[in-house]
Amino acid sequence: MAPNASCLSVHVLSEEWDLMTFDANPEDSVKKINEHVRSKTKVPVQDQVLLLGSKILKPRRRLSSYGIDKEKTIHLTLKVVKPSDEELPLYLVESGDEGQRHLLQVRRSSSVAQVKAMIKTKTGVTPETQIVNCNGKRLEDGKMMADYGNRLEVFIRLLDFV
């Protein structure tokens, strides 16, 4: 933050967590506040709703666009939106020349272990030897598909196996 930039003190209230306080610049995006909240609560940004009074703050907008650039302290309320357990049609693309595709029907609540078991059923490659990427991120055991922020119609790639 530039030394002459005016600084805001942002207080985020929530029913589930203690009061969170962050310093911000009026030109910061709301998403930056979302990221601070995520670092304290582990709630993914896409599952957060920040409210200024009754107004929902949009992640891409700057704090100043809500007319809060002159204030020194703002009070926001955090609402956690439980993601729907929607079905995700995932297309598994095998590595290699042919790039064979398989359709996997999974849910946002599906674990990576469950997805790897589906991959084994389709390809015969055991979960222990799979290296799977989804939208450029390697799938990690112990996580859920919702942790990858997936929406409908995404591709996962079986890169290789050891």
| Of the candidates 135, 95, 141, the residue with the CA atom closest to the CA atom of residue 117 | 141
Q: What is the pLDDT of residue 152?
A: 42
87-138 pLDDT, tens digit per residue, is 777 888 887 667 788 888 888 778 889 999 999 998 888 888 888 887 777 8
pLDDT tens string 44-97: 888 888 888 888 889 899 998 988 766 666 777 877 776 666 777 788 888 766
Task: Find the CATH number of the domain harbouring 106.
Answer: 3.10.20.90
Q: Determine the pLDDT at residue 118.
A: 92
Pair 73, 106 in one domain:
no
Provide the pLDDT confidence category of residue 5 given band limits of 50, 70 and 90: low
Out of 12-26, 37-51, 64-78, 141-155, least confident range: 141-155
> Which residue range(s) make up the domain with 61?
8-80
CB 126 within 8 A of CB 113: no
Q: What whole-number distance in Å separates Cα of residue 123 and Cα of residue 117?
A: 10
In a domain, 3, yes or no: no
pLDDT for res 153: 45
48 with 114, same domain: the answer is no
- Residue 124, sorted as left (phi over 0), alpha (psi -120 to 50) or beta, turns out to be left
pLDDT at 117: 92
Domain count, the chain: 2
Q: What is the pTM of this model?
A: 0.50
Residue 27 in contact with residue 34, Cβ under 8 Å? no
Residues 76 and 93 placed together within one structural domain of the fold? no
User: What phi and psi values does residue 127 have, to the nearest 5 degrees?
Assistant: -55, -35
Res 27 pLDDT > 50: yes
> Which residue among 80, 101, 121 closes a domain?
80
